[in-house]
Structure 1
């Protein structure tokens, strides 16, 4: 595993495998490790938060199971339905071959929303109350996943002459935008921002605002970052904007609508209190 800076670009020559397990001869990959790291870090952040709120550990354990299952199933089905449905419908058993790769973050987002809905319904909780707490850790999990993509030399960027360009030697000798790294760094900043604002009136006193901000900021950046990525599938070349951008728009609209609704609700409450 090597990476080096040569002239005005970074040579990225990193193996996607960490080591191979003897006997079964199966590789342990960086991508899987970063997925696990994202889950562990997210759990720890929520554990600290729920401890302060007096929620039992069993509550978090159950929520974590819902979210992990929702993320993986949603991400897999998202890839199947959004990016290559004809192949998977012709080879339905391949849908379950998740070890071969193929996870779509937008599908994962939809899966998380479904998981929150079912969990909140079972526990008789507000959907937005649960969503606000999950929103605090989604960015840290997203950063870990994008670092995993970087280690896999996948979701690479368009060619560039910028001095921080990466040459992904597993792909080609062309200096490219490290689009995965851009998104990972943004997710880290978003994680810090949301957790800073969590104790401020804008989020503390308005249920759903944390969730709304996550949707707006994360998917707005995702929309812009897609301009610096190569298309994942050939059919995207015929689209005005690519699939990742098309799928980001509904998330931004939902977040924006939620902020507007919350703002109007608060204005109504204030006027009623004054009267």
Structure 2
């Protein structure tokens, strides 16, 4: 990374290092995915142990988050951005390299996976998803930083002092949209962790999820306006696919807050 013509010249290799004598390499993106999973798992453990609810089968819960998240993100990418490839060859979903993950699809996968776990363990769905939505923000921050290291999901051209020239893409200064998201998610995660720590004991289940859905996806709707479209067909749309897919999450968040708002409820019993 250096400065050229007043812009940040981003020429970072996506590969951290190659393992000598093999074709195996460690990428920044893979590292950030792993770091996101580790951080979110540890924060999740802390939250559930602190509240002392549903602590018996937590390993299975985290498994029901990770697997559906990856499957949903992979399927979502092809359903939303490359349907032709999926129809032509359904096995493209499992064919390496695994480029192309949709966060909208990943969130939907998590919602389904957690619902299945809650049914099996007789757990309150909204309570569990409240806490998991919170920890998922930290994973999102890591993954978006991984996108930055990969020089992918770049922003549109911009004449700003903090614009990045992504050398692996072209020589145009662009919005570092991945960095915008990573920084926002980090700050938002800390804010929501504070909300949980100070208010969760008397907020109705679903309020935290409603806040996260509304605020996070509103930000996503806005930041999508400075991103390059991921598929050519989006050029003919007034809103890109990322913005269109953010609207249902925003509406769901507002609806949850309104439905569960009855201000405060009594402290739950264990």
TM-score, normalised to structure 1, is 0.92
Question: Where does residue 138 of structure 1 map in the other structure?
Answer: 136
Q: Deviations over 1:135-187 (max 9, x none)?
A: 22111100000001000000000111110000000000100000000000110
Question: Where does residue 108 of structure 1 map in the other structure?
Answer: 106
Structure 1 residue 97: deviation in Å? 1.8
Query: CA distance change for structure 1 residues 202 and 137 in 2, over 3 Å: closer, same or farther?
Result: closer
Say whether 1:246 aligns with 2:244.
yes
Question: Where does residue 178 of structure 1 map in the other structure?
Answer: 176
* SS of aligned partner of 1:232: coil
Deviating 4+ runs (over 4 angstroms): 55-58
Q: Which runs of 5+ in 2 are unaligned?
A: none
Structure 1 residue 199: deviation in Å? 3.0
Q: Which runs of 5+ in 1 are unaligned?
A: 271-275
Query: How many aligned residue pairs are there?
Result: 266
Cα distance between partner residues in 2 of 1:100 and 1:54:
38
Superposition RMSD on alpha carbons, in Å? 1.8
Is the CA contact 1:70–1:112 (under 8 Å) kept in the aligned structure 2?
yes
Query: CA distance change for structure 1 residues 204 and 144 in 2, over 3 Å: closer, same or farther?
Result: farther
Residue from 121, 124, 136 that aligns with 1:123: 121
Structure 1 residue 27: deviation in Å? 2.0
Residue from 222, 226, 229 that aligns with 1:231: 229
* SS of aligned partner of 1:200: helix
Q: Deviations over 1:179-210 (max 9, x none)?
A: 00000011001101111111334774221111
* SS of aligned partner of 2:13: coil
Cα distance between partner residues in 2 of 1:143 and 1:53:
25
Question: Where does residue 78 of structure 1 map in the other structure?
Answer: 76
Cα distance between partner residues in 1 of 2:148 and 2:56:
34
* SS of aligned partner of 1:100: coil
Cα distance between partner residues in 1 of 2:203 and 2:91:
48
* SS of aligned partner of 1:136: helix
Q: Which moved more, 1:46-55 or 1:185-194?
A: 46-55
* SS of aligned partner of 1:10: strand
Structure 1 residue 94: deviation in Å? 1.4
Say whether 1:18 aligns with 2:16.
yes
Cα distance between partner residues in 2 of 1:23 and 1:87:
35
Question: Where does residue 195 of structure 2 map in the other structure?
Answer: 197
Query: How is 1:203-222 mapped onto 2 (pairs within 5 angstroms)?
Result: 204-222=202-220
Structure 1 residue 58: deviation in Å? 5.1
Is the CA contact 1:216–1:255 (under 8 Å) kept in the aligned structure 2?
yes
TM-score, normalised to structure 2, is 0.93
Is the CA contact 2:54–2:123 (under 8 Å) kept in the aligned structure 1?
no
Cα distance between partner residues in 2 of 1:109 and 1:150:
21
